[in-house]
Structure 1
Amino acid sequence: MGKPKFNIYEHVTETIFTEMQAGTVPWRQPWSGGSGFALPLRSTGEQYRGINVLMLLIAAMKRGYDCRSWMTYRQAQELGGQVRKGEKSTTVVKFGTITKEGETDPVTGAEGEEHARRYARAYRVFNTCQIDGLDEHWYDRPAAQKEFGTQSDPALDAWFASLGVPIEHSADPRAYYHIVRDVIHMPRVQTFESAAGLYDTLAHEEAHAVAVEKRLGLTFEGKTAALKLATEECFAELTGAMVCARLGVPASARQNAAYIKHWLEILGESNGAVFRVASMAQAAADWMFAKAGDPDCDIPAVADE
């Protein structure tokens, strides 16, 4: 049997859902992004658009690229550069339209109507960090991760610590729960726009940690990995919102609602999904407060955006 044909749609879907399971969901980020989150540029200087932005941001974040520009192997050579031996390319997608003329009627000789067909074609690019010999401007780095001077609340820090899930902070601009290590990773406190954003994010990640077998052992239903992920993300967001409300953390209700709405659209359900997920979220919130009690804390209020 021959080698299976490469399916660009399956590749894109797998890449995105794998990253969502392991790291940060791009549209939920109340902290400054760091170098990996600068909008990627083509060799023409134009910004990539659509799904390619997400694909390239994921590649830059996972592989540690901090240059904004991307180009094909041939484009690098034309600009006097050379991709270093052993470097791996990143797949992006070119969308286009093919217009075909209709068939001519064999009797009347009349020409048929034209019709257009959209296509998606994969091609491979390299970040300029992978290429030697280019002019210096190709190695442009985005501005350093912005710091807002946000400070944590000792009482809340102690409350989350008492849940028993280790929490680590680093310059890595991602928030996620690492299920194998049983650790929550968070960006540095100073890079969050507010303390409310910090603890809203932490509560979301704690929900993922509480759901695992060694704690509540929750099961998220779904016929596919994508649907299971959508269910778990709805659960984590609802749990985080419940926890923040009881802690007095002024999380953004609009952001919570928009995030949950996005996942419910993927699930293709309405009230049924909400009730099932809300029941699990309540159980997780109850578990947290039974474990840690109610803290004595005071988080500054911020405007709900």
Structure 2
Amino acid sequence: MAYKKYPSQPKRDHYQEVTDQIVAALEQGIIPWRRTWNQGACGMPMNCTTGRFYRGINTLLLGLAQAISFGDDPRWCSYRQAQARGWQVRGGERGRTIVFYKRILKSQEARDDGSVPYFQLLRFSTVFHASQIEGIPEYIKPEPGSVSWQTPEAIDTIIDNSGVDVRYGGGQAFYSPSTDRVQMPVREVFESPEAFAQTAAHELGHYAANDRRLGISEGGRFGSRAYAAEELRVEIGSAMVCSTLGIDPDISNTAAYLANWLERLKNDNREIFRAAADAQRIADYLLGFHPDYAAYIAGQGREEADDKGTEDDSEVQEAA
């Protein structure tokens, strides 16, 4: 008996799908990483079954989806995680794609330097917002001031503990790679403590990205494509810092780089993944200088997977 052959479906390109989402938002004048995420638990999308914050590209994807389609509840989880709690995703609800990395050992034998060789698989999975799930407990938003690092003054704690050389005076804010210092106008010229914190977080992002620390900077003069690439990473990273500190990340110089960012993202559908990963490194580096936040994260634990346990609905592609 002959069997009818059906044409195989083309493999989904998740990299392109994610990039298209970000590009479409930028072309509409929506800056995904500038969302405040409504100051949920530390202002960031979080997994409601593990209590962990989403990281990297997932912060952008879920933050954007939440701002457009959902309310101020920052909670998400997979279908399987909801079922394990006795909750039920309502029929017909559309989930959102997230990504996480999984390390695979290449060999059990260590290298000469003692490290173990491995490669990373990038898994794509689906999560649902709390508003799409029946039976989930009501979200109780933290009271203002209940989280010690959610204040504009928290940026001063980060500055003091980082040891960065910050000079005050003049009418410009910038990081100088040659002198490895940050220049800021005096506080009195800023409209509010929040405005000072926003600007400081951005310039500290350039400080963190420098070769002396994270090595993320591509160099290049102000306004160049290389500098625009660094600016993309620093802006996303500083927005993550501001959101964690409970501050609206209103960065003002996006328009100067928007064309370069769009060109770069359109020509390389993995660039936003690399940029978001670098931005997360910048945010982690700076936030690590706030002792209360660092202690909280240490108590949570941090895993390579952004949402461990979602393999029930995942696809694998080669990592960027």
Verify same fold: TM over 0.5. Answer: no
Compute the TM-score of the two structures, normalised by the length of structure 1: 0.41
Q: Which has the higher contact order (CA 8 A, sep 6+)?
A: 2
Instruction: Answer with 1 or 2: which has the greater Rg.
Output: 1
